[in-house]
Copies of this chain bind each other. A is one copy, B any other.
Amino acid sequence: METKTAPAKRTGGRSALVLGAVKRATEELIEEKGQERLTVPMIAERASVNPTSIYRRWGDLPSLINDIATYRLDPARPLPESGTLRGDLAGWAQEIVAHYRNPVNAALLRGGAAVAGDRESDCLRNRRAEATMFVERHPESELSADRVIDHLVAPIVYRAIFLPWTLDDDTANRLVTELFAS
């Protein structure tokens, strides 16, 4: 039997323009209207793009929001390399706090939470991968990725979702201190 070669994706040019316009429009509107008052046609109009294009690319609104929420923090961005696990985690936590103090990112996170629950659609999976990388880089520490998630990521995310006004400047440092005190 003949092997079917995958059709060539077209990622550049106009497609890239549409992608960027849709992402920008979604980020703008999610801040203005909030996650639940958002619709696909609204995004399409703001992006000067046809609604059909959005439906065909993402299927529905929750998938779009989850997609943007997942990749807004670039997975290829440089991560802290301070020489110590504590230093790395402190810098990393500060970055995450700063990220979610942006109302746009907090709203996207809530959208991601709304559609979470299965292994595929976890908009925070990159955080877990990064946590694992940090603890494996410093095997002398006894910290596990699980504990980093539970006592560093979880409190930040919890506050970002439910108590965003409590995400202040020293949240990250306080949590890191408490994590290493145990």
Q: For chain A, which range describes its interface: under 10, 10 to 19, 20 to 34, or 35 or more residues?
A: 35 or more
Chain B proximity of A105: nearest CB distance (Å): 12
A162 and B124 within 8 A (CB): yes
Does A41 belong to the interface (CB within 8 Å)?
Answer: no
Q: Which of A62, A149, A151 has the most CB of B within 10 A?
A: A151
Does A175 belong to the interface (CB within 8 Å)?
Answer: yes
Q: Which of A36, A110, A116, A117 has the most CB of B within 10 A?
A: A117
CB neighbours (8 Å) of A159 from chain B are 154
Cα–Cα, bound, A46→B140 (Å):
57
Contacts A151-B150, A158-B154, A178-B147 given: A114-B110 contact, CB under 8 Å?
yes
- Excluding A122-B163, A147-B178, A150-B158, 11 further A-B contacts by CB distance (< 8 Å) are A36-B62, A36-B115, A117-B161, A117-B162, A119-B165, A123-B162, A149-B158, A154-B157, A155-B155, A178-B182, A181-B182
29 sample A-B contacts, Cβ–Cβ < 8 Å, listed by A number: A34-B117, A35-B114, A35-B115, A36-B115, A106-B117, A110-B113, A113-B114, A113-B162, A114-B114, A116-B162, A117-B162, A122-B162, A122-B163, A123-B162, A124-B162, A147-B178, A150-B151, A150-B155, A150-B158, A150-B175, A151-B155, A154-B154, A154-B157, A154-B158, A154-B159, A157-B158, A158-B158, A181-B182, A182-B182
